[in-house]
């Protein structure tokens, strides 16, 4: 059998965590077992059970700082990285990104409330969404949170609300720049055919309509071209397109002072992935905007970007315990774990790939057998890995899945009435709960039996 080099032996990029498979504090203990943040994974599971989400604080902070440093390095005007909280929304994450000077974007009242409870300043929060409710818009406005106008429905209600309050409201608009990226069709949000934003061909009409309102003040524009992107050229093109939109808005007496290029930078989930660094991505965006502004004798707007996955994904791992084995001779061996699609819906939804290892034997992924790791849910498609190399394993062993900080916890569910895992923060040998484990009884909290059924029983 050909010897394979473990991805755990790869040199860790401390300056751009998105280029690593593992958190930057990942290590192998003297006994050969896996540790993160100075904490033994095996000991954490003994104390907190499994499945278990773990976030590494140093990786999170280094990711935030990489965006801040790159923007300060390459962009001569004001700048603000804004955490896309849909990736992983919690009071803890809101507090951490705010402590690093980042803003936050939210798409619901729940995410807005979480951000505020986490201490994010109102003026650093932006409110997205293609179908905001009246209640959500009023919540944002009354809390002095800037609303990004996504469509005419948003526009009409904000105009009515500003008139009823007799109050000026600063707004941003989202538009689709028509840039295609080589990514999954379900997460490609910048093409002409998108549920998000105004078509670029409609902007002049929109600029005229906003000019004719009494209280709406257009101060910013936003565009987003996709997710898990490894290409730099589309983002270079985006900068120039957005500056041209600023120039068009000036013709209608709008002074655009904020330019938000969205997010989308990819991360390294597997050894074949090769995303640009955070520094390279920010440099590409910054150079494009600066060049276009200078060409058109335009003052530099505040440059905003909205990283989500590239902030939190690499910092997170999920730990599972192995249960049943099923060998189908000549076909495959199924290895079942105590979680699955309820704590990580991305494989069944997007056919997403990850990297993993055994906690007690992380460096030996050269087993003669390949394993298909199946979740415990009542779905044939609940498979986390197909044909993965692992060291020889047995019931009770622990598996660590890397790159699960984004869109795992935030997209989790209670399918099959399975409680959500606990989430831990690790740093310098200490572990702290940031989200409690659900219990089966918690799942009954909102169930109601109608009175007539109670009387019948």
pTM to 2 decimal places: 0.95
Q: What is the DSSP letter of 360?
A: S
Segments of the chain scoring below 50 in pLDDT: 1-2
Where along the chain do its domains lie?
7-56+317-443, 58-312
Give pLDDT, residue 107. Answer: 98
Helix (H) or strand (E) holding 312: helix 309-312
Contacts (Cβ under 8 Å, ≥6 apart) of 179: 190, 191, 225, 234, 237, 238, 241
Q: How far apart are CA 55 and CA 17, in angstroms?
A: 13
Strands (E), 191-264: 198-199, 216-222, 258-260
Give pLDDT, residue 190. Answer: 59
Q: How far apart are CA 78 and CA 135, in angstroms?
A: 32
Residue-wise DSSP of 26-40: -EE-TTS-EEETTEE
- C-alpha radius of gyration, the chain, whole number: 24
Give pLDDT, residue 186. Answer: 57
For residue 393, indicate whether it is catalytic. Answer: no
**Out of 64, 305, 357, 378, which one is annotated catalytic?**
378
Q: What is the DSSP letter of 8?
A: G
Residue-wise DSSP of 57-107: HHHHHHHHHHHHHHHHHH-SS-EEEEEEGGGS--HHHHHHHHHTT-EEEES
> Looking at the domain that runs over 7-56+317-443, which CATH code has it been given?
2.40.37.10
In the structure, how many helices (H) and strands (E) does the chain have?
12, 21
Give pLDDT, residue 183. Answer: 59
Q: How far apart are CA 173 and CA 223, in angstroms?
A: 9
Angle at 137 between CA 132 and CA 142, to 5 degrees: 165
Give pLDDT, residue 420. Answer: 98
Q: What is the DSSP letter of 173?
A: E
Give pLDDT, residue 1. Answer: 41
pLDDT digits (tens, 9 = 90+) for 219-246: 999 999 989 999 999 889 999 999 999 9
Enumerate the β-bridge partners of residue 9.
none
pLDDT digits (tens, 9 = 90+) for 20-66: 999 999 999 999 999 999 999 999 999 999 999 999 999 999 999 99
> Looking at the domain that runs over 58-312, which CATH code has it been given?
3.20.20.10
């Amino acid at each position: 059998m050909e010897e394979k080099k473990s991805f755990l032996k790869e040199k860790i990029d401390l300056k751009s965590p998105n280029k690593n498979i593992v958190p930057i504090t990942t290590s192998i203990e003297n006994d050969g077992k896996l540790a993160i943040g100075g904490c033994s994974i095996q000991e954490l599971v003994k104390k907190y059970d499994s499945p278990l989400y773990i976030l590494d604080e140093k990786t999170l902070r280094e990711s935030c700082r990489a965006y801040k440093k790159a923007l300060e390095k390459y962009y001569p005007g004001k700048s603000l990285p804004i955490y896309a909280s849909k990736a992983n929304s919690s009071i803890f994450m809101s507090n951490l990104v705010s402590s690093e000077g980042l803003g936050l974007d939210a798409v619901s009242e729940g995410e807005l409330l979480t951000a505020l409870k986490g201490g994010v300043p109102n003026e650093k929060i932006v409110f997205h969404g293609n179908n905001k409710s009246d209640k959500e818009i009023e919540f944002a406005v009354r809390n002095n949170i800037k609303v990004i106008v996504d469509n005419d429905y948003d526009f009409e209600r904000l105009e009515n609300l500003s008139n009823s309050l007799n109050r000026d409201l600063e707004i941003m608009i989202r538009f689709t720049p028509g840039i295609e990226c080589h990514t999954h069709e379900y997460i490609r949000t910048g093409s002409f055919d998108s549920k998000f934003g105004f078509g670029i061909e409609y902007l002049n009409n929109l600029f005229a309509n906003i000019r004719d309102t009494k209280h709406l003040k257009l101060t910013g524009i936003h565009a987003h071209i996709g997710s898990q992107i490894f290409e730099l050229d589309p983002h270079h093109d985006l900068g120039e397109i957005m500056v041209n939109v600023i120039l068009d808005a000036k013709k209608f007496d709008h002074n655009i002072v904020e330019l938000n290029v969205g997010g989308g930078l990819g991360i390294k989930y597997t050894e074949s992935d090769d995303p640009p660094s955070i520094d390279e991505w920010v440099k590409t965006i910054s150079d494009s905007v600066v060049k276009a502004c200078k060409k058109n004798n335009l003052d530099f707007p505040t440059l905003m970007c909205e990283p989500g996955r590239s902030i939190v994904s690499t910092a997170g791992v999920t730990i599972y315990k192995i249960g049943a084995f099923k060998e189908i001779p000549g076909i495959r061996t199924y290895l079942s774990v105590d979680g699955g699609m309820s704590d990580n819906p991305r494989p069944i939804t997007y056919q997403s790939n990850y990297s993993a290892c055994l906690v007690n034997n992380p460096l030996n992924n050269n087993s003669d057998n390949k394993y298909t790791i199946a979740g415990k849910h009542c779905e044939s498609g609940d498979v986390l890995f197909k044909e993965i190399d692992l060291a020889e394993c047995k019931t009770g062993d622990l598996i660590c899945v890397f790159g699960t900080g984004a869109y795992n916890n935030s997209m989790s569910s209670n399918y099959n009435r399975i409680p959500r895992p606990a989430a831990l923060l690790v740093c310098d040998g200490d572990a702290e709960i940031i989200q409690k484990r659900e219990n089966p009884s918690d799942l009954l909290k909102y169930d109601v039996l109608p009175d007539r059924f109670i009387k019948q029983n």
